Chains A and B, each alone.
Chain A
């Protein structure tokens, strides 16, 4: 505030001062100052007390209410200049004397008198007309320098007598007003100073106490002014709990938003404003500590208070992390329990449906069978359907039990050395008829030279591959193509071999969506094609679990309508190398291979590389004849000729016939085929073919196949030629079965196959019957496992341990409803040679019995041949 030099001078003379000034912000003020005794207040020295009024306030004080606001007051200098006007909002009168001269009807002498009064400091009263309206003009010196109080009031607003009273009253009031105001100001200053000091100290003490308290708890307290959201208070522990400086939050409450995760607004104004006084509202946010990055959950509770009629919000942030985590864990547990329950319900629902479906067919057709018992065609039709439904039901039960065992973690691997070629041959034998029935091409390829002997769980591997291949056949249309490829993958560990099995078909394929859960239990894609195919929906789940159990991987690539490719990669232990008897080294040095698939020729060459045998390849029958004849004419006959059965142009049988015609009977000719050769066996043997070899080609199978031919070619040939078509025909079986019904079924079935059977009702009786029999009387024993008196395992052990000449060699097959791998293993451990699951499937019986009897026959032939060799 600039007050001018006059101010300084008057103050030095210790005179009272009244001066007009302008505050910043263009507010006009008048300052009244009175010199006092020198003093000091709060470190401030003073010599006068001054009161500063805004003109507006003074104008309001001077306004004369008695005239209903029609009067106007001015503080004017004695020359007419207006210092202050009561006009609300400002003043446009520069000099009221000039104005009066211009607009009033005051005569010259009246104006002169008034001016004289003003110069002399004399009060006065005039009446005049301004703007056509009569006015009273009253002037009164204020006793302060040369200033006058000038009142201009319309005459119609006041009577002359009242004006006189008013004049006196105004004088008195004005003086009293000034004195009282000055006194009150002084009192107010002193009192407010003391009071504010006391209040301040009390407040500081309380604040300190609260700070100490809040600093030691994990709740943050904030007090907000509801009008402007200014922070009135914040507990200092916010720095410890959220890593936010107190000053930052105090400056702007929005600083809290830095910590809140996933929230743009932490203090939602609209929601706060909706809280009634003495009510509260809660929110829950996740906050991140600004220094440590730690995330914690806080519950924010806002209370609305009215403090001295001012609306305030008290916001409390309480750490709820532990409670939140506990809730989360409980929620997860609840979800898991619900999932388990749901899975159980799904399982029961699926099982109920899947079991009832074939059961319905069985029951239904059985009823129809009774009704149409006299109609042979209907009977056959119904029996066929009952049989199919029974098989499906059986496979479902097997799968469910298998799955249950896998999921319960009770499945273990039965690791042993086994022959890969044999496994592949078995698969081919089982699957080929199925593929043939649908007119499908089923090919097995072996790429490279994988080891033939490996150590692993043969049964589980068989199960995996059987599942994949039978699915491929099932879900490929008639006339489709299925390829099964086995190859060796590189591995860093020399004692292991990693094999890749690829099953590829051009069948119906699968949608991308289905592929995501193909390995889940009861997953079957719903389509018009799959709906016609029976399946439990458990096969792939079992397969996946088995692959996992064996430490391998399985993957699938497929597209609807374009077929599927399943790839399984498994590692196996390599067995210790056994010294093989190289019986062939002198007898087999040159082999001719004819196959229209060049890859097969190359595979044979690759596999035979280490044997030292020279392999010549041709890709058609004519070339094979030419090569064989040429070699013969040179006197360099091939030791073995290997012919593919199905070649374009001249097939394998015809090629063999022509070779025989030109070369003679000496050179062994084998047919290499992936098809069931039974239908051409007679024709082939008449054409001069000595033996059949399944594809894919394996060296060990090759040696095994040709060995009898070289050791005693003629005799072996005789034996093979005489081999009956039905392996069970004319055989005698010892059947150990305690259940009369099962025993009847079995003996009847064997009878149908042309075999004889004798029944033992328990294990002990079976042992006794075998011991008492002549050597070779029984060709095979079919042994139930669970029997009274003596079970099948024990009986087998006793038979094997017995002194009967055939004790070690007679084939014994288990017949049991215990179908798990462990059961199979137990059977083998007991000395059995095979395992048949109940209910008895005659196809399975034929397959197993055929295999075991063939093996026994081969052993017998070898023994005979060996005895003959030794004798020769």
Chain B
């Protein structure tokens, strides 16, 4: 599926590269070429390629897709921004890395766009900054992140999913005793997993979030953060992540799970429909959902959708055209066509063609009780998922212990906030 998408994308890029100027005449109407920048894998999502094709076909305009390898995206994009080369439309998740792109000065606040009222409350909340300004159009798969486990394996072992941290630990050990890798932990870039554990810390107590964002406290002052880091460290030491987790990256998750080598991982449901390839023994039907347990909250936690946003360059020459493009994407017939059959939670109130995964449906009660909005990554000032992943990697490699890991997380966070000129840092 990914290969197909990349082929389409390359075709589009090839066509666009033949266009010599951004504005030309097409059938008597002025033809516009908009530049869209994003990660290669993000832009290759089926619903993204679908909407791009649909736009070009229906408007006669062209899209210049600028795609970077996922690992290089932040650095490459930041370099282009630094040179003043800002695309008309920029794709980015609402996380701390977005702060590197001078949001206030580069992007258009979309509060007054006609389609805003069609956004679901949770999608809108995710896309707003701390002052309530809507930063982008959430045209993305909205999923529920949690601990997805192979229920077939658990059943075969006479085991049941955990409802508490202690049970989860027993479960991990029981799986390990049974010869399985309990958790597929991509030690080579576990950028998204840490935030799941941290969400309850900041979402459940806004005062902690406020204090850390005013630099009144550090991670080290929050016992739960140290508990979490220690738990991850211990889990790795006990073999719960398997033997080869340091060589496990994004692309290895699918084969490890489908083969049954690993039983659980912390991921989101849409991943099973866009990235999981059931090449081996197990398919998506073998999986079910329970909360993530990372020793920060006894009952575990789920994280609400993390959304890729389309943001408009407010200083560009084609602001109106870019806004028109977003309006095109936010038109019900267009987004329903793009997300037809995609398993995702709705971002738009008028979204009718998407489907919801049975895993999410089955875990409905548990999700209702334990789900939290993505908080650590998007609300903690200075939080950088990539830097946190790098620090954890050092811990796995024995370069720092758990306390040192927390210390470096603090240093990274404070340095990032300081660079951004945040008051108090």
Residues of A bordering B, CB below 8 Å:
80, 87-99, 101-103, 130-133
Contact = CB atoms under 8 A, between A and B. Distances in A.
B158 A93 contact: yes
B363 interface: no
A103 B166 contact: no
A102 B170 contact: no
A858 B1 CA distance: 140
B84 interface: no
A102 B164 contact: no
B309 to A, nearest CB: 38
A92 B179 contact: no
A55 to B, nearest CB: 12
Contacts of B163: 90
A99 B167 contact: no
Interface in B154-170: 155-168, 170
A133 B179 CA distance: 12
B158 A94 contact: yes
B165 A103 contact: no
Nearest to A26: B163
B323 to A, nearest CB: 50
Most chain B Cβ neighbours within 10 Å, of A94, A99, A103, A131: A103
Interface in B67-93: none
B21 interface: no
Contacts of A89: 164-167, 298
Given A89-B167, A90-B163, A90-B166, A97 B158 contact: yes
Contacts of A130: 177
Contact of B158 (A87, A90, A95): A95
Given A99-B159, A103-B177, 10 more contacts: A90-B164, A90-B170, A91-B167, A93-B158, A94-B155, A94-B160, A98-B156, A98-B158, A99-B158, A131-B177
Contacts of A103: 157, 174, 177-179
27 contacts: A80-B158, A87-B166, A87-B167, A89-B166, A89-B167, A90-B162, A90-B163, A90-B164, A90-B167, A90-B170, A92-B160, A92-B168, A92-B174, A93-B158, A93-B159, A93-B174, A94-B155, A94-B158, A94-B159, A98-B158, A102-B156, A103-B177, A103-B179, A130-B177, A131-B173, A132-B177, A133-B177
Interface residues of B, number: 23
B156 A92 contact: no
A88 B166 contact: yes
Contacts of A80: 158
B98 interface: no
Contacts of A87: 166-167, 170
B176 interface: yes
Closest 4 CB pairs of A and B: A89-B166, A131-B177, A98-B158, A95-B158
Nearest to B163: A90
B380 interface: no
A131 B159 contact: no
A94 B178 CA distance: 15
Nearest to A101: B158
Which of A88, A91, A92, A132 gathers most chain B CB within 10 Å?
A92
B289 to A, nearest CB: 16
Nearest to A95: B158
A132 B168 CA distance: 21
B110 interface: no
A96 B174 CA distance: 11
A102 B162 contact: no
A588 to B, nearest CB: 97
Interface of B: 155-168, 170-171, 173-174, 176-179, 298
Contacts of B176: 131
Contacts of A99: 157-159, 174, 178
Contacts of A97: 158
A130 B168 CA distance: 19
A130 B179 CA distance: 9
A65 B416 CA distance: 50
Contacts of A131: 173, 176-179
B170 to A, nearest CB: 5
A589 B257 CA distance: 138
Given A131-B176, A131-B177, A96 B166 contact: no
Nearest to A130: B177
A92 B177 contact: no
Contacts of B159: 92-94, 99
A97 B156 CA distance: 11
Nearest to B169: A89
A96 B158 contact: yes
A133 B239 CA distance: 15
A101 B178 CA distance: 10
Contacts of B166: 87-90
B158 A102 contact: yes
Contacts of B179: 103, 131
A98 B154 CA distance: 10
B170 A92 contact: yes
Contacts of A88: 166
Contacts of B177: 103, 130-133
Contacts of B170: 87, 90-92
B188 to A, nearest CB: 27
Nearest to B176: A131
A686 B171 CA distance: 141
Interface centre among A80, A93, A96, A97 (most CB of B within 10 A): A93
Contacts of B171: 92
A374 B156 CA distance: 142
A322 to B, nearest CB: 48
A843 to B, nearest CB: 83
Contact of B162 (A92, A95, A101, A132): A92
A93 B178 CA distance: 13
Contacts of A101: 158
Nearest to B156: A102
A92 B162 CA distance: 6
B362 to A, nearest CB: 17
Q: Which of B157, B158, B171, B179 has the most chain A CB atoms closer than 10 A to its own CB? A: B158
A102 B152 CA distance: 13
Contacts of B167: 87, 89-92
Contacts of A90: 162-164, 166-167, 170
Nearest to B168: A92
Nearest to B178: A103
Contacts of A96: 158
A92 B165 contact: no
A198 to B, nearest CB: 42
Contacts of B164: 89-90
A78 to B, nearest CB: 15
A741 to B, nearest CB: 92
A87 B173 CA distance: 12
A90 B161 CA distance: 11
Contact of A102 (B157, B160, B161, B173): B157
Contacts of B165: 89
Nearest to B159: A92
A346 B158 CA distance: 103
Nearest to B161: A92
Nearest to A87: B170
A92 B147 CA distance: 15
Contacts of A94: 155, 158-160
Contacts of A98: 156-158
A97 B155 CA distance: 12
Which has the most chain A C-beta neighbours within 10 Å: B155, B166, B168, B170?
B170
B295 to A, nearest CB: 12
